[in-house]
Chain A
Amino acid sequence: AQSVTQLGSHVSVSEGALVLLRCNYSSSVPPYLFWYVQYPNQGLQLLLKYTSAATLVKGINGFEAEFKKSETSFHLTKPSAHMSDAAEYFCAVSGDTGRRALTFGSGTRLQVQP
């Protein structure tokens, strides 16, 4: 079985502040982990992925995430928020080294205040 828990359905930060979106996973087999972003009325776009190589993963738009097996976490961070980062963010897990379909978390809506 595999599952994802995203802590905080809404996060609000000021422009230029640190962004931290939390994700904890559960998987009975080695996981592949992903972060996707969804803008209004659009599909999901891949931000970054962890596939058992480096534990610190860099993605697009200045985002990065760190895989911590001991904490079963894969939190998403960005040093300085930009207004254009306002969107819905989804963490997802795929067990069995990615051979299973993705299971998504319930999402975190990021607001960026000017």
Chain B
Amino acid sequence: EAGVVQSPRYKIIEKKQPVAFWCNPISGHNTLYWYLQNLGQGPELLIRYENEEAVDDSQLPKDRFSAERLKGVDSTLKIQPAELGDSAVYLCASSFRGNSPLHFGNGTRLTVT
């Protein structure tokens, strides 16, 4: 089976600019996650979707971050405007259902200058 696909792999932007990340989960996986991974740390959950519904977005900084999963398949995560502290790796993961193992994409490494 194809894995979780994320794009772009790398993104460099100036602060205050907008940026968007895209994720295509494994086919048939209903649950989709966005995690943030700072250098030298473990991933931290930003948002979790069950199909197209965001069931846990308590850690998403809603003043500048937004996410959508309109048809319950692929998803986009947006930051507007980006800040220097947003430099990190953004990981997307999917699972068949909420209590199944997660499958991760290779991530998008964001650098804000």
Contacts and interface: CB of A to CB of B under 8 A. Distances in A.
Nearest to B55: A101
B106 interface: yes
Interface of B is mostly: loop
Contact of B107 (A43, A45, A92): A43
A103 B91 CA distance: 14
Interface in A33-70: 34, 36, 41-46, 49
Contact of A44 (B48, B98, B99, B104): B104
Given A98-B99, A99-B98, A101-B56, A43 B41 contact: no
Interface residues of A, number: 26
Given A4-B42, A105-B42, A107-B40, 15 more contacts: A34-B101, A42-B106, A42-B107, A43-B4, A43-B107, A49-B101, A94-B99, A97-B99, A98-B100, A100-B98, A101-B45, A101-B56, A103-B45, A104-B42, A104-B44
